[in-house]
């Protein structure tokens, strides 16, 4: 029998994620640890919400000597390591488990621990260890000498250089992936990393592929077209949608000619850049126009000269033809308290940001010449004292670089504007789209106040604003209405179980479900024909079926003890039956395994059959 090829980690029953076992070394364990102070430091300096150690450490509570304290230190190390991986945008949502703790005989005063932690496919173990080694040094250091960790900026810089940057190179993902995967994890939606920051959510016929917030059901052509603002506007105009009035300009003379045709005020923007890069608004004279054109030309050779629309930009998120939320996108601003000057308000806001871990900080509030110009337009300056509740803009528009404020308008969006956003998403064939509507009043229909669709975004950033975080579950419900699950059951037995498994497959087939059957060396399609696989092994063959969008149900024929070594490729079974036979051993050339081994397999699978995650029947 060929040794099965395992391209991915399996479930072993200790975590809700596929797992791996690591051995950690502690050089020492500090005595007389101030636990409340240590936990407060981890909370304040790392933004870590520590989980209660009571259940996690119950098995070590009666350990002699320092072992109980060592276990408590290790529990904090696991949580810090998981947080560092999340900061690097690795989807590790469980701290893991302590398996054992023992004195290190080779190192007096040292300790060894075996821990079970989450494993992300295609993230090498030596990269994962960076997080655990850094967490070990950090927790031991703070517990031993907290006075050495008062200044944290050097620590943040070291973590960024030695841990976070190397981890990000392993899995380059954007800001949307982690919040979406965290929500999927909470809702019991299965997912796997497929490499290069691409994830599969769900199984078989209920699955889709995700890269950041871009999904595999999006039109590839629509995604490309939406990345060019000029072509996007042309498509919308021809489809009868309100689009910006603009012209392309490849040089300053063409920009001046565009102004003559469009009038004032104008906007200059690169046609092929996102996140507000190179955008200048409120241009009202030739000097401004040429300066803005030169600035944009540093970023792109495709420059749009556009008539400025009246109103404010509103982001409308559309998922499969349904509006999920709407926010009014306002520039970064400070809110007065009737006492402090604008300069003081900016300083206080920045001090609050600088108190956060470096990776959790938003862009700092600006206090530069552009800030002064924005204030001057409102008749203010940095010494002005704003009345309580009064806002002062520090930038002309919202952007990723500058930041901004979101005001939720989901409950007051006019139905015709909702329909307009859905039409735009459908035009580009986008299942997930951020439609930006510039409108003086989004509660009024677009045709009544000359609103326009400013942009169509094929991969809108999700999970960053309050409105987006609040609606992530709704987004996933829309994309994966059955939680991405298909019916999966297991039939256990060496030879007779094949007939039992075939009967189960035919029963599902009679219900109109495309049910596949697979063992470690045989896979049958719904009609009972052999489906050849390039790999042997129940784990690998099941993974292949989970990736096939034709598969609506799977019967696993468990004939060997393979799963004890590989783990289960899924996190739940809908049904489990046993023919009463002993299994074959994968490590003894296919000979019968000991009865105790068969009992272990049944006990292992029974744990997953009782999970009750349900199916998409």
Averaged pLDDT for residues 493-516:
95
- Joined together, the tokens standing for residue 80 give 């810090």
**Edge-first strand listing for the sheet containing 214-215:** 191-193, 198-201, 208-211, 214-215
DSSP 199-248: EEES-GGG-EEEETTEETTS-HHHHHHHT-HHHHHHHHHHTT-----EEE
Q: Of 104, 107, 51, which is closest to residue 75 (Cα–Cα)?
A: 51
Q: Is the pLDDT of residue 342 over 50?
A: yes
CA distance 55 to 52: 7
pLDDT confidence of residue 610: 65
Contact 358, 160 (CB under 8 A): yes
According to DSSP, the β-strands at 553-558 and 487-492 are parallel
Task: Phi first, then psi: give them for residue 38, nearest 5 degrees.
Answer: -60, -45
CATH 3.40.50.920 at 245-308, yes or no = no
Confidence band, pLDDT 50/70/90 cuts, at residue 326: very high
Angle at CA of residue 421, ends 420 and 422, nearest 5°: 90
SS3 at position 26: strand
Averaged pLDDT for residues 256-269:
93
- Joined together, the tokens standing for residue 563 give 């799963």
Q: Is the pLDDT of residue 32 over 50?
A: yes
Q: How many CB atoms neighbour CB 110 within 10 A?
A: 15
Q: Could you tell me which residues come within 8 angstroms of residue 367 by beta carbon, excluding any fewer than 6 positions away?
A: 343, 346, 382, 394
pLDDT digit string, tens, across residues 571-596: 999 999 999 988 988 876 667 878 88
- Tracing tokens 């404010």 back to the chain, one arrives at 312
pLDDT confidence of residue 272: 84
Which range has the worst mean pLDDT, 152-156, 225-229, 275-279, 475-479? 275-279
Averaged pLDDT for residues 197-220:
96
Total residue length of the chain:
617
Contact 300, 272 (CB under 8 A): yes
Q: Is the pLDDT of residue 617 over 70?
A: no
pLDDT digit string, tens, across residues 127-161: 999 999 999 999 999 999 999 999 999 999 999 99
Q: Of 561, 605, 558, which is closest to residue 587 (Cα–Cα)?
A: 561
Fold for domain 218-240+309-332+395-460?
D-amino Acid Aminotransferase; Chain A, domain 1 (3.30.470)
CA distance 231 to 252: 21
Residue ranges of the chain that CATH labels 3.30.470.20: 218-240+309-332+395-460
**Edge-first strand listing for the sheet containing 19-26:** 19-26, 111-118, 97-103
Task: Phi first, then psi: give them for residue 26, nearest 5 degrees.
Answer: -110, 125
Confidence band, pLDDT 50/70/90 cuts, at residue 2: very low
Averaged pLDDT for residues 463-479:
96
pLDDT digit string, tens, across residues 280-312: 888 999 999 999 999 998 988 889 999 999 999
How far lies 171's CA from each of 10, 392, 537, in Å? 19, 40, 27
CA distance 97 to 338: 52
How far lies 283's CA from each of 259, 305, 368, in Å? 10, 10, 19
Q: What percent of the chain has pLDDT over 70?
A: 95
pLDDT confidence of residue 41: 96
Residue ranges of the chain that CATH labels 3.30.1490.20: 245-308
Q: What percent of the chain has pLDDT over 90?
A: 84
Q: Is the pLDDT of residue 344 over 50?
A: yes
Which range has the worst mean pLDDT, 33-42, 63-72, 97-106, 436-445? 63-72
How high is the mean pLDDT of the chain?
92
Averaged pLDDT for residues 554-567:
95
Beta bridge partners of 312: 439
- Residue 58 or 194, more confident: 194
**Edge-first strand listing for the sheet containing 432-439:** 404-408, 322-331, 312-319, 432-439, 452-457
pLDDT digit string, tens, across residues 162-181: 999 999 999 889 999 999 99
CA distance 551 to 514: 6
CATH 3.40.1190.10 at 487-609, yes or no = yes
Angle at CA of residue 276, ends 273 and 277, nearest 5°: 55
Residue ranges of the chain that CATH labels 3.40.1190.10: 487-609
CA distance 183 to 473: 6
- Joined together, the tokens standing for residue 401 give 């670089």
Q: What angle separates helix 125-144 from helix 67-87, to the nearest 10 degrees?
A: 120
């Amino acid at each position: 029998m060929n040794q099965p090829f395992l391209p991915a980690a399996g479930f072993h029953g200790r975590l809700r994620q596929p797992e791996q076992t690591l051995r950690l070394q502690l050089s020492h364990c500090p005595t007389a640890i101030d636990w409340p102070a240590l936990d407060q430091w981890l909370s304040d300096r790392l933004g870590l919400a520590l989980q209660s150690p009571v259940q996690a450490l119950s098995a070590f509570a009666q350990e002699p000597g320092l072992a109980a304290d060592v276990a408590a230190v290790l529990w904090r190390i696991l949580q810090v390591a998981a947080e560092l991986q999340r900061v690097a945008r690795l989807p590790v949502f469980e701290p893991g488990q302590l398996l054992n703790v023992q004195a290190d005989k080779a190192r007096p005063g040292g300790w060894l621990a075996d821990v079970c932690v989450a494993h992300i496919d295609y993230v090498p173990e030596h990269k994962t260890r960076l997080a655990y080694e850094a967490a070990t040094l950090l927790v031991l250091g703070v517990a031993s000498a907290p006075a050495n960790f008062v200044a944290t900026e050097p620590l943040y810089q070291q973590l960024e250089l030695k841990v976070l940057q190397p981890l990000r190179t392993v899995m380059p993902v954007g800001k949307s992936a982690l919040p979406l995967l965290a929500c999927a994890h909470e809702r019991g939606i299965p997912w796997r990393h497929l490499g290069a920051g691409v994830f599969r959510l769900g199984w078989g016929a209920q699955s889709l592929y995700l890269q950041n917030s871009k999904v595999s059901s999006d039109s590839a052509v629509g995604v490309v077209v939406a990345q060019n603002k000029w072509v996007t506007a042309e498509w919308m105009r021809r489809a009868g949608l309100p689009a910006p009035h603009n012209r392309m300009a490849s040089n300053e003379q063409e920009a001046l000619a565009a102004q003559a045709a469009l009038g004032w005020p104008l906007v200059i923007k690169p046609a092929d850049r996102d996140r507000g890069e190179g955008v200048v608004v409120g241009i009202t004279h030739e000097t401004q126009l040429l300066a803005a054109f030169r600035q944009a030309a540093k970023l792109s050779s495709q420059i749009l000269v556009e008539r400025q629309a009246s109103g404010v930009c509103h982001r409308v998120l559309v998922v499969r033809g349904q509006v999920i939320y709407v926010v009014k996108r306002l520039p970064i601003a400070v809110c007065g308290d009737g006492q402090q000057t604008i300069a003081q308000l900016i300083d206080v806001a920045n001090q609050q940001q600088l108190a956060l871990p470096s990776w959790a900080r938003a862009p700092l509030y600006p206090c530069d010449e552009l800030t002064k110009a924005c204030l001057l337009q409102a008749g203010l300056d940095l010494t002005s004292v704003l009345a309580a509740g009064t806002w002062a803009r520090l930038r002309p528009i919202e952007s990723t670089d500058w930041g901004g404020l979101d005001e939720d308008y989901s409950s007051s969006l006019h139905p015709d504007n909702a329909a307009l956003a859905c039409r735009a998403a459908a035009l580009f064939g986008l299942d997930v789209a951020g439609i930006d509507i510039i409108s003086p009043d989004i509660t009024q229909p677009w045709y009544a106040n000359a609103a326009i669709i400013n942009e169509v975004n094929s991969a809108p950033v999700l999970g960053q604003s309050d409105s987006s975080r609040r609606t992530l579950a709704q987004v996933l419900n829309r994309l994966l209405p059955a939680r991405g699950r298909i019916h999966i059951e297991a039939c256990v037995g060496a030879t007779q179980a094949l007939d039992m498994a075939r009967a189960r497959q035919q029963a599902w087939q009679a219900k109109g479900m495309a049910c596949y059957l697979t063992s470690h060396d045989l896979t049958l399609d719904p009609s009972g024909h052999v489906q050849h696989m390039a790999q042997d092994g129940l784990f690998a063959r099941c993974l292949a079926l989970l990736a096939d969008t034709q598969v609506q149900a799977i019967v696993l024929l468990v004939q060997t003890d393979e799963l004890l070594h590989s783990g289960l490729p899924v996190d739940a079974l809908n049904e489990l039956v046993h023919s009463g036979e002993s299994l074959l051993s994968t490590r003894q050339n296919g000979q019968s395994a000991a009865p105790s081994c068969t009992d272990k397999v049944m006990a292992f699978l029974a744990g997953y059959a009782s999970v009750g995650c349900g199916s998409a029947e």
